Structure 1
Amino acid sequence: MGMSNSLELLEKMNLRVAEELFVEQLNRKNISFEAHVQQIELIDKQVTEFEAAVSMLARYVSLLESKVRSSYHNSPV
């Protein structure tokens, strides 16, 4: 009976160690994942800022095109 209890205890200890290792691996992966999430968030912010700049440039180009067209229509040929 003592041997059976020892084997059960050993099995429980092995399972516990395996669980702890699994949790440790998950924690390491989570830390790595968080670094990637931060990079993605930074890239997303930069893309948003870039899109705003492109939008402003598009409006400016449109305004310039309107002025050029207007000057062609108003200039004597």
Structure 2
Amino acid sequence: MQKLKMYLFASVTILLLLSGCNTKETNKDIFQYKDSNVGDNSAVGNIVYKLPGAQQLSGIELKTKEEPYGIILNYGW
């Protein structure tokens, strides 16, 4: 029984370590655009394409004519 508990503990520990070391590059450098404005279309595009689900993105629309400013993302699921 003691060996089973030790084996289970070691297995869970190894799984946690491996899952913690598995990092994706998707959002790694997204914070370089943190002070960008909504009107800066290249910065907005770079941020959007680094988000999860960017492969299904079909269009970006910037609302910059009047306040409140906004961004509309169209996804083609």
Q: Sort the TM-score into its range (normalised by shorter chain).
A: 0.3 to 0.5
Higher helix share: 1
Higher relative contact order (CA 8 A, sep 6+): 2
More strand by share: 2
TM-score when scaled to structure 1? 0.38
TM-score by length of 2: 0.38
Which of 1 and 2 has greater Rg? Answer: 1
